[in-house]
Amino acid sequence: MSLKDKKIILAVTGSIAAYKTPQLVRLLVKAGAEVQVVMTEAAKDFVTPLALATVSTKEVFYAVSNGAHWNNHVHLGRWADVLLVAPCTANTLAKMAQGLCDNMVQAIYLSAACPVVFAPAMDEDMWLHPATRANVQQLQSYGHHLIPVESGPLASGLTGPGRMAEPETIAAWLEHFFAPEQQPVAIPPNTKALITAGPTYEAIDPVRFIGNFSTGKMGIALAEALAERGIPVDLVLGPSKESTQHPLITTHKVVSAREMYDACERLFPEAAISILSAAVADFRPQEAAAEKIKKGSEDTMQLTLVKNPDILAHLGAIKNAGQTVVGFALETNNELEHALKKLKAKNADMIVLNSLQEAGAGFGHDTNKVTLLSADGTQTALPLQSKKEIAKSIVDCVLALKYNNA
């Protein structure tokens, strides 16, 4: 297993989620890891050092100095293969971002010569606060890795995002992190991404429009997958009930194709990676009536449609050597042929081929099945899986294409 013989420091801070840490230690030890637990004094109010020492079979450290005994935080920081801060409170996030050193956890953090992973835990309003957003982004700019919070019941009695990921999720994340074939691509600092998602609505009159069945789920999953890799994302989202609260994602809401085009043109110059997953209407009514069109006595109504601007073609034409542009192709027949033509015609670096002929794929589903077509001729077929897993696979392929070939 990928955790066998790995040396893991688990830093526990003062959150109610600390009650989950004995189970987390059990899972890591069972997977073959050697786990050294350290704690803040506040964490001892939620879980005892004795409980964690029992499951880890190691003394738990919670003070740099304990009487005549000095705990060598520099040695510990160099001993570990990874430092995992879980749960990581809003207070600890802020201290890590600012480099404060007033407890054993912070002393080890500032001495760590290994990758740092943090799993936040706090209430919804704290998680969504701009200060927390800035602190998460600061830690990720240091190269640290975020294990995203989950949504559900919170200690305050509210329900929403802020829960620490479950122990099983954290253990699986670490196994994925240490798997040789899954080592993260080195992403340059200040990398930004642009994602389009959802449908566009093209007005016929003030109450009617031309649209499609896109929900925006795939695009939001892509934005979250990029953000989890530490990349700030501008999400241009058409009219959709879906949303995201990830602190590294800035959502720009639009309605029409022309609004989406304008937003993309404004944001594109700063984007190293652009993934255009929105289902943009190809045509719009030439004129939108100022008032609701009455039915009248006629049996038919004629609409004159004009082409909308082609966002993928435009960005493909103006991209520079440092920018990667990925498009989506939703096809109903001759899928591969049409997608390859689109890849070349739009000057894209990759096309994600999505077929409506596949059961469980396309609009309205929580699953998808796609094939990735790269400009270098590579074709990668991904099996039917959740859109979140598909998004992670697409992001892995895009990052490998961009940075491994750089």
To the question of whether residue 292 is assigned a binding role by annotation, the answer is yes
HSE-CB for 121 with a 13 A CA cutoff: 25
To the question of whether residue 46 is assigned a binding role by annotation, the answer is no
Residues 239, 199 contacting (CB under 8 angstroms)? yes
To the question of whether residue 328 is assigned a binding role by annotation, the answer is yes
Instruction: List the end-to-end C-alpha distance of the chain, in Å, as a whole number.
Output: 31
**Pick the catalytic residue: 71, 212, 354, 405?**
212
Q: Tell me, yes or no, if 212 is annotated catalytic.
A: yes
Q: Does residue 107 sit in helix, strand or coil? A: helix
Q: How many CB atoms lie within 10 A of CB 341?
A: 13
CB within 8 Å of 395: residues ≥ 6 apart: 222, 225, 226, 229
Q: What angle do CA 79, 83, 86 make, to 5 degrees?
A: 145
To the question of whether residue 275 is assigned a binding role by annotation, the answer is no
Evaluate the CA torsion angle 330, 356, 252, 93 in order and state its sign: negative
Residues 287, 326 contacting (CB under 8 angstroms)? no
Helical residues (DSSP H) of 247-370, grouped into ranges: 257-267, 311-318, 335-345
Residue among 150, 135, 5, 26 at smallest CA distance from 82: 5
Helical residues (DSSP H) of 142-243, grouped into ranges: 167-178, 217-228
**Which structure tokens are listed for 85?**
């801060």
To the question of whether residue 213 is assigned a binding role by annotation, the answer is no
Maximum Cα–Cα distance across the chain: 96
To the question of whether residue 310 is assigned a binding role by annotation, the answer is yes
To the question of whether residue 311 is assigned a binding role by annotation, the answer is yes
DSSP 8-state class, residue 231: -
Q: Which residues are annotated as a binding site?
A: 282, 292, 309-312, 328, 342, 346
The catalytic residue positions are 212
Residues tagged in the binding site annotation for CTP: 282, 292, 309-312, 328, 342, 346
